[in-house]
Amino acid sequence: MENVRPILLTLLVLAVAGASLPAAAAGDAERGAVLATTCMGCHGIPGYRNAYPSYRVPKLAGQHADYLAIGLNGYKNAGRAHETMQAQAVDLSAQDIQDVATYFASSGELAAGTPQSGERVARGKEKAAVCTACHGANGVSTMPTWPTLAGQHEDYLRQALTQYQLGERTDPVMAGQVNDLSEADIADLAAYFAAQPGLVSID
């Protein structure tokens, strides 16, 4: 019990310091890098695929730390239904989550460049007008709790949108966004966001 007081004091100091700092500063990236060793077998191999259903594991480098932490807590609390990731997240403490999220967020710069073109990308761009209010112009979100979609793997984006539709992934905000999307809409939107310069693979 005697340790409780200093810990509470430290948390208070961190909370006060955190209020004036960007969220990414909340974790320890060096400690996060050590914790991330176990993640690299999937997230550190560009294009590595989930076995079934088959889609590429999401890119994490350059993603917002706050959003990555929300994602990890989702697996930990079963708000996200992916068994492998649930197993990865269940033993992570709140501090571990903060540190590993900070590490991945800082492990790559968002790519610059010109978007790829194509018919589906053009159709997706039109349909994405409602999404960019939150996910940012061209899919680079300016809110730390909302994911950047630009440059994310196309098949992962399709998978995520389908999961929201099926209720396998629960989020009150996104649940309201996906109701009216057809399969073709999902394909076009995923093609558009994947084609924007943004998230990068760690290698």
Interface residue list for ligand HEC (CB under 6 A): 38-39, 41-43, 50, 57-58, 60, 68, 70-72, 74, 80, 82, 84-85, 88, 100, 130-131, 133-135, 146-147, 149, 157, 159-161, 169, 171, 173-174, 177, 189
For ligand HEC, give the closer residue by CB, 24 or 131: 131
For ligand HEC, give the closer residue by CB, 140 or 146: 146
Least separation in angstroms between residue 81's CB and ligand HEC is 7
Least separation in angstroms between residue 161's CB and ligand HEC is 5
CA angle 31, 33, 35 (to 5 degrees): 75
**Residue type at position 161:** L
For ligand HEC, give the closer residue by CB, 98 or 159: 159
For ligand HEC, give the closer residue by CB, 7 or 51: 51
Q: Taking the alpha carbons of 10, 12, 13, 19 in that order, is the dihedral positive or negative?
A: positive
| C-alpha distances in Å from residue 194, one per residue of 17, 143, 158, 161 | 36, 19, 10, 13
Selection from 158, 123, 142 nearest residue 198 by Cα: 142
Entry field: residues in the chain? 203
For ligand HEC, give the closer residue by CB, 3 or 54: 54
Tokens (6 digits) for 127:
């349909």
Least separation in angstroms between residue 60's CB and ligand HEC is 6
For ligand HEC, give the closer residue by CB, 22 or 41: 41
Least separation in angstroms between residue 34's CB and ligand HEC is 11
Cα–Cα distance between 187 and 123 in angstroms, integer?
10
Least separation in angstroms between residue 73's CB and ligand HEC is 9
- Count of other CB atoms within 10 angstroms of residue 127: 15
Least separation in angstroms between residue 183's CB and ligand HEC is 13
For residue 53, is the peptide bond before it cis, meaning its omega torsion is within 30 degrees of 0?
A: yes
